[in-house]
Amino acid sequence: MMLSDDPQVLLPLIALYPEIHYRFKAFPLNRYFRSQPEIIADAPFRLEPGHALPVLLLVKDSDRFPIILEGVNIEAQGREQYFRRHFSFGRELICKRWWHHIEWVELPDESDCTWEINVTWRIQIADRHYNITNDNLPGLSHGPLKVRQSGQSLPRKDGWIFGDLHAHTSYTEDQVEFGAPLDAYYHLGQACGLSFSLTADHSYDLDDLPGSFNENDPNLTRFKFRSAEIARLNRDHQGAFSLIPGYELSVANDRGRNVHLLLLNQREFLPGSGDSAERWFHTRAEFSIDEVIKKLKDEVLAVAAHPLMKPPLLQRLFLKRGSWKRKDLYNEKISALQIWNGQNGKDFRRGIETWVKGLLRGKRWKILAGSDAHGNFNRYRQVGFAMLRLKESDQHIFGQVRTGVRLAGNLSPDNLTNSLKSAPSLVTDGPFAHLELKSQQDGSMLAQVEASSTSEFGELSTVRLYWGKKGEKAERTLQEGGIKGGYSATLNSKIEDPNGYLRVEAITNAGRRALTNPLFLNGQTV
């Protein structure tokens, strides 16, 4: 069997819209190839109260496969109401590499309700007419998009905002997958209750020539275009939503294997191509973790990306991918771990265990959450096995797992990054939890815990207050509230030992949870 000149197409990657047109040069088999551009409709998985529904219409590779868009029908079925809207495009010729449009739909208020949305495209290719429902990706369900119209906003306290700290954009583009346009994150992100996101495109995509998957560009045209677009969009949407500039950098761990480092508020480009699969057997990272850390400015936050995730066998063999080891994580400049990566599984549970062990050894780590979505606002559509099949699921949806932070100052990348470093924060896929310390007249400290949820995420079932201290073998549960129904809870606990740290975990009867970052009893919040 001949090897492809593009090794990446042999390897399963995650969480992007699937590219359906690439074929091996030596063996041009592709069971999902179609002589049509990729045509995809997407929408946020949830809507904040009173928010119109933004429907993303996306067409890719129409420079190779032009279409005429006659119109789009959007049908919505709620609990009791059904309606249909027609949007005419006047036989618009679409013939460029990327085309997208956002159509806004005012849904009748049936909150709380899950709407089923079907988007039917009426297109013409050559002399043939087609009706395409939701997408034209072969082998997938083409089923309705499901949007939760919530009757309540995401649970929070005043001053808190939420974001997704691991999302890829259309600047992530290769032989098997691609992300969503930058401005889609503003509109669909706000609709689902978010205020910020990290643009976490892979560094090895950002130095490619525009339109090429594996040719490097010494002028960094793509990186510069992206930086300018982020800055422009942040100006246009100032105060409503902010994209944090940065990227996901491939670096060498302690054993020389490729792992990923998220750089928040990083404005300069650093190469990281060890696991890019752009050339066979070129798997050595340009920098180690420590070498990168030494290059970063003070305004940058370095985060271990999905550190406990074990890469699949093929990625370990061909891309030399690995996991973060203890020596890597214990680098004094690594202050945050993105342990929640779009799904609630064993990697997340191992991440919690590693985080707690670190706290008990004196580390002041924060934990962060992100979806690792590449588009996928409503449904995860991707390559299942290169050249053979596509697949879909409800994992890695943008905004489904979130980082919450109490923002200090205005909404900007600089203030967001500073707040993520030093202000109270948490990770959640639903409920909210908050912890404060109050001084008592006798000189002691009282820990006050507030937790809240909504019908969307389930009633609170358990709220726990944990205490830990450097040198202890395990955390202690200072107080646990077994909640029998209800959407709010409070705990109060007198703190006997003025040293150590406190943290809170809140769980609902629907299995949703929130974990606060530690509050250190010497007065420093991390």
Among 9, 23, 1, 103, residue whose Cα is nearest residue 57: 103
Indicate whether 507 belongs to any domain. Answer: yes
Q: Is residue 14, in this structure, part of any structural domain at all?
A: no
Question: Would 18 be classed as within a structural domain?
Answer: no
Lowest mean pLDDT, pick from 61-65, 168-172, 211-215, 456-460: 211-215
pLDDT (tens digit per residue) in 361-376: 999 999 999 999 988 9
Are both 190 and 234 inside the same structural domain?
yes
Bridging pattern class, strands 113-125 and 145-149:
antiparallel
- As given in the structure block, the two tokens for residue 511 are 């299995």
Residues 319 and 413 placed together within one structural domain of the fold: yes
Examine the pLDDT at 526 and tell me if it is beyond 50. Answer: no
Whether residues 233 and 381 share a domain: the answer is yes
32 is a domain residue = no
Q: What is the pLDDT of residues 330-349, one digit of tens each?
A: 999 999 999 999 988 899 99
* 525 belongs to a structural domain: no
Residue type present at position 515: L
Q: Are 90 and 232 contained in the same domain? A: no
Q: Is residue 28 part of a domain?
A: no
Residue numbers of the domain that contains 75: 37-150
pLDDT of residue 394: 87
Q: Number of folded domains in the chain?
A: 3
- In whole angstroms, give the CA distance from residue 272 to residue 203: 6
Q: Is 159 left (phi over 0), alpha (psi -120 to 50) or beta?
A: left
Q: Are residues 441 and 412 in the same domain?
A: no
Cα–Cα distance measured from residue 334 to residue 443, given in angstroms and rounded to the nearest whole number = 35
User: What does the pLDDT average to over 291-308?
Assistant: 97
From the number of C-beta atoms within 10 Å of its C-beta (0-12, 13-18, 19+), residue 215 rates as exposed
Mean of pLDDT values over 286-306: 97
**At residue 166, does pLDDT exceed 60?**
yes
Choose one of 429, 458, 478: the last residue of a domain.
Answer: 429
Query: Is residue 425 within 8 Å of 405, Cβ to Cβ?
Result: yes
- Say yes or no: 203 and 293 in one domain: yes
Is 11 inside any structural domain? no
- List the CATH number of the domain containing 394: 3.20.20.140
- The rounded distance, in Å, linking the Cα atoms of 485 and 520 is 31
Structure confidence at residue 282 (pLDDT): 87
d(CA 285, CA 276): 10
Question: How confident is the prediction for the chain on average, in pLDDT?
Answer: 91
Q: Is the pTM here over 0.85, yes or no? A: yes
Q: Which residue reads 């919505």 in tokens?
A: 76
Same domain, 314 and 216: yes
Last residue of a domain, one of 128, 150, 172: 150
Same-domain pairing of 176 and 272 = yes
Q: What percent of the chain has pLDDT over 70?
A: 91
pLDDT in tens, 241-282: 999 999 999 999 999 999 999 999 999 999 999 888 887 778
21 falls in which pLDDT band (50, 70, 90)?
A: very low
Q: What is the pLDDT of residue 31?
A: 52
Looking at the structure, do residues 423 and 436 belong to the same domain, yes or no?
no
User: Which residue is it, tokens 């994992």?
Assistant: 395
Q: Over the range 257-283, which residues count as b (16 or more CB within 10 Å of their CB) and which as e? A: bbbbbbbbbbeebbbbbbbbbbeeeeb
Confidence of residue 25 (pLDDT cuts 50, 70, 90): low
Query: Do residues 136 and 168 both lie within one domain?
Result: no
pLDDT band at 33 (very low <50, low <70, confident <90, very high): low
Question: What number is the average pLDDT over the span 381-406?
Answer: 82
Residue 420, H or E segment: helix 413-422
pLDDT single digits (tens) 122-132: 999 999 999 99
Instruction: Give me the mean pLDDT over the 416-435 stretch.
Output: 98
**Do 434 and 392 share a structural domain?**
no
The residue among 380, 399, 429 that closes a domain is: 429
Contacting residues for 227 by C-beta, under 8 A, at least 6 apart? 245, 267
The residue-averaged pLDDT of 442-463 equals 94
Name the pLDDT band for 465 (thresholds 50, 70, 90). very high
pLDDT-based confidence at residue 10 (cuts at 50, 70, 90)? very low
Digit-coded pLDDT (tens) for 469-479: 999 999 999 99
CB atoms within 10 A of CB 102: 17
**Number of residues that this document lists for the chain:** 526
Q: Is the pLDDT of residue 11 over 60?
A: no
Task: Quote the pLDDT of residue 139.
Answer: 85
Q: What is the CATH number of the domain that holds 98?
A: 2.60.40.2470
Q: What CATH number does the domain containing 475 carry?
A: 2.60.40.3550
Please indicate, yes or no, if residue 225 is contained in any of the structural domains: yes
Q: Is residue 317 pLDDT above 70, yes or no?
A: yes
> Are residue 252 and residue 388 in the same domain, yes or no?
yes
Q: Is the pLDDT of residue 143 over 70?
A: yes
